[in-house]
Amino acid sequence: MHGETEIAAQVIFGWSPLWVSSILFVATYAVIVSEKVNRAIVAGLGASLMVTLGVLNQQTAISGIDFNTLGLLAGMMVIVAITRESGVFQYVAVWSAKKAKASPWGILLMLSMVTAVFSAVLDNVTTVLLIAPVTLLICHELKINPYPFLFAEIFASNIGGTATLIGDPPNIMIGSAVGLSFNQFLLNLAPVTPFILAVTLGFIYFVWGRSMRATLEARQRIMSFREREAITDVRLLKQSLFVLALVISGFVLAHPLQLEPATIAMFGSALLLLLSNLNNGAEEQSERVHEIFGKIEWITIFFFIGLFIAVKGIEEAGVLKILADLVITYTGADLTVTAMVILWVSAIASAIVDNIPFVATMIPVIKSMAPTFGGAENLMPLWWALALGACLGGNGSLVGASANLIVAGFAERAGHRIRFLPFMLMAFPMMLFSIGISSLYIYFRYL
């Protein structure tokens, strides 16, 4: 078996690997965009065809998978799945609403900031899964339309996610592929995000916020919520917060410790599983662990695996090198122009299609530009442009990010449908504005 995999890949019937891999990749992409077939199935099929048609041999295919991204995602998913059972997220949401004295605009501000901070530390989908239901409950009690709240939370989750290495999958992928640390993301991306969030909330105030009203009686009801009662398991809460603090300190110190983020997240998840199972018997433990593992988003994980292999296919066949050369020819090998093109193209692409496949494709393209710009260390502005474009671009439409779709789904079930076009008419210009701010930031800081 081992001997077979080591032989060089050879495309069946002697077809050109360039064409076979390109057609396969474009077809995979097209089916993912059509959303007719589950994305994990499409990516899995595309990846296996890359191998079975002979574009890649099995070893190269496996080497294309970025296990650091997978480990970080899975580890954090486990930690969050356990932490949420303590009721801490509901506590924070209700607490923040009361801190705002239950005034509608105050609640919108507070919940947006909570969403942004949680999204920076957890993934965006998880954050909105936790915050949006409480938001709907609060709006229902206040008898006000939840639309502006949910709109603000969509933006806050994508903006908050931009700020850190672990906030959004594109950052995880970029960080892992290029070897950028948690601190580098924090120092380079976090400074611009509060400003973008503030401007976004300014827009929302101008459009909706200034006319928001709730009766005193309704506000009194919110004030009578007992947030402390939301904490259902104090022991689990302490354990979870301890492990979360440990993991985040681990990310900050990862570089001197020479540890990959995936190692830290995996360690954290194993530690929290251990702590939360200390008092359980063998049978109960396996039930609990099985239940928690069931909450890992396997569709996302397998989507990544398939995608990494598919991208490896076009990379090995030389397609991405051609693409990179094309970009450089059009931008005249000018770093400023290239950075701006990457920023704006990623933003617009990410508003229309899933940003994960886009970033997976762009990473090797940008990597191969290193010789043109005089070495890998000079590519930094391009990485930040890609991260800002891909993460913030998700705000451009309802399908731009998974978190947007989750919020829209909740809104529809609660009888307040978020429609595609009206959302985009507001969101797309606001997203472009945030990319404008990012352009200035990148230009003045790096170019």
Q: Which residues bind another protein (CB under 8 A)?
A: 87, 90-91, 94, 129, 133-134, 136-137, 140-141, 221, 224-230, 232, 410, 413-415
Q: How far is the CB of 90 from another protein (least distance, A)?
A: 7
Q: How many CA atoms lie within 13 Å of 425's alpha carbon, on the beta-carbon side?
A: 6
Euclidean distance between the first and the last CA atom of the chain, given in angstroms as a whole number: 51
Q: Which is nearer to another protein, 109 or 129 (CB)?
A: 129
Q: Which is nearer to another protein, 142 or 356 (CB)?
A: 142
Q: How far is the CB of 300 from another protein (least distance, A)?
A: 17
Task: Let me know the angle formed at the C-alpha of 154 by 114 and 414, rounded to the nearest 5 degrees.
Answer: 100
Task: Kindly tell me the burial class for residue 138, based on how many C-beta atoms sit within 10 Å of its own C-beta (0-12, 13-18, 19 or more).
Answer: buried
Q: Which is nearer to another protein, 10 or 224 (CB)?
A: 224
Q: Which is nearer to another protein, 219 or 312 (CB)?
A: 219
Q: How far is the CB of 176 from another protein (least distance, A)?
A: 29
Q: How far is the CB of 217 from another protein (least distance, A)?
A: 9
CA 433 vs CA 177, 382, 395, 420, 437: distances in Å: 29, 19, 11, 20, 6
- Contact residues for 346 (Cβ-Cβ < 8 A; gap 6+): 355, 358, 359, 362, 385, 386, 388, 389, 390, 393
Q: Which is nearer to another protein, 9 or 108 (CB)?
A: 108
CA 39 vs CA 30, 348, 420: distances in Å: 11, 21, 21
Q: How far is the CB of 410 from another protein (least distance, A)?
A: 5
Q: Which is nearer to another protein, 141 or 297 (CB)?
A: 141
Helix (H, G, I), strand (E, B) or coil at 143: coil
What is the number of residues in the chain? 447
Q: Which is nearer to another protein, 90 or 119 (CB)?
A: 90
Q: Which is nearer to another protein, 142 or 363 (CB)?
A: 142
Q: How many CA atoms lie within 13 Å of 395's alpha carbon, on the beta-carbon side?
A: 30
Q: How far is the CB of 84 from another protein (least distance, A)?
A: 11
Q: How far is the CB of 152 from another protein (least distance, A)?
A: 17
Q: Which amino acid is at 320?
A: L
Q: How far is the CB of 409 from another protein (least distance, A)?
A: 8
Task: Kindly tell me the burial class for residue 63, based on how many C-beta atoms sit within 10 Å of its own C-beta (0-12, 13-18, 19 or more).
Answer: middle
Q: Which is nearer to another protein, 147 or 443 (CB)?
A: 147
Q: How far is the CB of 118 from another protein (least distance, A)?
A: 15
Q: Which is nearer to another protein, 129 or 349 (CB)?
A: 129
Q: Which is nearer to another protein, 43 or 94 (CB)?
A: 94
Asked if 296 and 78 count as a contact pair (C-beta separation under 8 A), the reply is yes
Q: How far is the CB of 144 from another protein (least distance, A)?
A: 14
What b-and-e string marks burial along 338-352, b requiring 16 or more CB atoms within 10 Å of the CB?
A: bbbbbbbbbbbbbbe
Q: What is the DSSP string of 166-220?
A: TTSHHHHHHHHHHT--HHHHHHHTTTTHHHHHHHHHHHHHHHTGGG----HHHHH
Q: Which amino acid is at 199?
A: V
Rounded Cα distance between 116 and 46, Å, is 35
Rounded Cα distance between 385 and 365, Å, is 14
Q: How far is the CB of 94 from another protein (least distance, A)?
A: 6
- Helices and strands per DSSP (H, E), number in the chain: 23, 0
| DSSP classification of residue 103 | -
